[in-house]
A and B are shown apart, each in its own frame.
Chain A
Amino acid sequence: MGLNLDFSVVLERWPLFLDGAVMTLELAFMAILIGGAVGTLCAVGRGSSNRFIAALCAGYVEAIRNTPLLVQIFLVYFGLASIGFKFSAFSVAAVALAINVGAYTAEIMRAGFESIPTGQIEAAEGLALSRVQVYWHVILLPAIEKVYPSLTSQFVLLMLASSVTSQISAEELTAVANYVQSDTYRAFETYILVALCYVVLSLVLRAAFWALGLILFPRRRRLGTSL
């Protein structure tokens, strides 16, 4: 039997794919926003002089980084449901992804914090900046600037990983693909198309982060270093 590929029945369902892609981006956006904040706080917590807080943050990072996302999602989704909490698949998916990316962000941000020379902080204190000012202008923003490339590639990986939430029926791109292929019996064409969608999404996301970097860190632009 020869190959007969027919993309037309799949392509005519393009509005579904568009909805799925938008949902994928929404999931990624929510997870990055929440997870980014959680991860940054956690990176600060790991350096805390309070040993309990430091151990808690380290435990969270290790627990998440050494277990699969799929199991984390099942644990949150079915676990919460079994003790009587019912949330939509979308919110559970966003929260599970946020918890996941938070741990990776924490590890990257810790490297960023460690790269700030102590002399800079002492100089800032010498200039009588307040604690908050020191943390914001001298530690946090320069740290983010240093690790921005690794941070953003982690976020692109997260967008791709959000495909796993199709397993708890969040209606994102992969779930749409599963639905379309069962509807059209064109599994190969559907998944090829969706793979291409993800490639385009990751290129778009990378370009967006690059542009954001130009706006956020004008110093880098003046120095002429590439992101």
Chain B
Amino acid sequence: MGGSLNANHLLFLGQGALWTIGLSAIALIGGGLVGFLIALARVSPNKLVRLTSGAYVQLVQGTPLLVIMFLGFFGLAALGFPMTPLAAAGASLTIYVGAYFGEIWRGCIQSVPRPQWEAAEGLGLSRTQRMLKVILPQAVRIATPPTVGFMVQIIKNTSLASVVGFVELARSGQIINNSLFEPFLIYAIVAVIYFALCFPISLLSRRLERRMGVGRAKLMPT
């Protein structure tokens, strides 16, 4: 066996954790952009746009992220478009996260009370103005807790980028384990690092949810 766990190994895990954070940021930004467009398309007045975006969401939500990763890495390479692990993982996560954000945010847009839409229309605002000035500012408030909650899913899901050879936290754990063969210790450390990344975000999302509940209760006429 290759000796025991030392500071270099921990440093390597730390580097992996940084890549996990980086990949999560890529997925959050990319998926956020795609998700925003999908959410708008899902409430579009055009039926074809609604159907297409709905089909996208259904297809992606019915497919495991792992298969999307394989498709992006091995699949595209076999077609003659070789991708680097980072590009394949980033693109797959963007597609995946986009579908989920799209669905979450569609719900938020639609949960803005009906009279708000009607009042905006009655004030003679155009559709774009209605969206930007009336609906979206309110939808963003409703969307904050579930969006923060979904960030935990994003961080956990970046672990699947390890299967296409992207060296993030889970993969660096695997690499170290291959030389030391102490799976319990190493994967426990990896799990603890993931927990340290995710748990504060979980707590934040729960607190936001509670505060939202209070805010909404205050808004309700008695």
Contacts and interface: CB of A to CB of B under 8 A. Distances in A.
Contact of A188 (B58, B61, B75): B75
Interface string A71-113: 1101100110111000000000000000000000000000000
Contact of B184 (A82, A178, A191): A82
B149 to A, nearest CB: 10
Interface stretch (A130-138, A162-170, A213-221): A162-170
Most buried by A among B64, B157, B182: B64
B181 interface: yes
B183 A82 contact: yes
B138 interface: no
Interface string B45-67: 00000000000001101111011
B152 A79 contact: no
B187 A79 contact: yes
Given A71-B159, A71-B190, A78 B177 contact: yes
Contact of B202 (A66, A164, A167, A185): A66
Given A82-B183, A191-B75, A62 B202 contact: yes
A202 B66 contact: no
A166 B75 CA distance: 17
Given A67-B194, A191-B70, A78 B199 contact: no
B184 A79 contact: yes
B173 A71 contact: yes
A161 B59 CA distance: 15
Contacts of A83: 184
Contacts of B70: 174, 177-178, 181, 187, 191
Contacts of A71: 159, 170, 173, 187, 190-191, 194
Contacts of A166: 66
Given A67-B191, A195-B71, A81 B163 contact: no
B199 A66 contact: yes
Interface of B: 58-59, 61-64, 66-68, 70-71, 74-80, 152, 156-157, 159-160, 162-163, 170, 173-174, 177, 181-184, 187-188, 190-191, 194-195, 198-199, 202
Given A74-B170, A188-B79, A195-B63, 20 more contacts: A62-B199, A62-B202, A66-B156, A68-B160, A69-B156, A70-B162, A74-B174, A82-B181, A82-B182, A160-B63, A167-B163, A174-B66, A185-B78, A187-B77, A187-B78, A191-B70, A198-B67, A199-B58, A199-B62, A203-B62
